Amino acid sequence: MIKPDDFGLALNEASRQLQTGGDLEEVLFELRKQGADKIDSIKVLKSAMGITMGQAKSLVDRSGTWSDRFVQDQAFHQMVRDVASKLPAEKNGLNVTVEEDTPDPWLGGKK
């Protein structure tokens, strides 16, 4: 996780690299090397590139730098959906909504 005081520096450096034609994968690799977690990387890309949170998440998920986490994250999200889908039977009057996989914004709404 990037410390709050260092977030601005990381954002400025990522913005500079991307504006001068730097490679997105190199930017993500440097962020991770500096201690950024996946959420930090998403936030930096969102701000540096002026894109939506969903688009930034998609870029991070599809990057080689974070590929080791993508499979684990997908398995975790599926487990949560499976558990949550069992809640309506036990909800005791609570409204429970289980969201399906979020479509990838870069793939025209496809997963």
Give the predicted TM-score (pTM) of the model: 0.73
**Same domain for 57 and 79?**
no
Mean pLDDT of the chain: 85
Q: In which residue are the tokens 């025209």 written?
A: 108
- Tell me what pLDDT residue 110 has: 58
Q: Taking 70 as the threshold, does the pLDDT of residue 105 lie above it? A: no
The DSSP code for 45 is: H
Could you tell me how many residues make up the chain? 111
State the residue range of the domain holding 33. 4-65
Tally of structural domains, the chain: 2
CA 29 to chain centre: 14
**Same domain for 77 and 53?**
no
Instruction: Please check whether residue 44 lies inside any domain of the structure.
Output: yes
Q: How confident is the model at residue 25 (pLDDT cuts 50, 70, 90)?
A: very high
Tell me phi and psi for residue 101, to 5 degrees.
Answer: -50, 140
Work out the average pLDDT over 45-58.
94
Q: How confident is the model at residue 70 (pLDDT cuts 50, 70, 90)?
A: confident
Q: Taking 70 as the threshold, does the pLDDT of residue 109 lie above it? A: no
Take residue 111 and report the two structure tokens written for it: 């997963």
Residue 59 CB coordination number (10 Å): 21
**Same domain for 37 and 60?**
yes
**Same domain for 17 and 61?**
yes
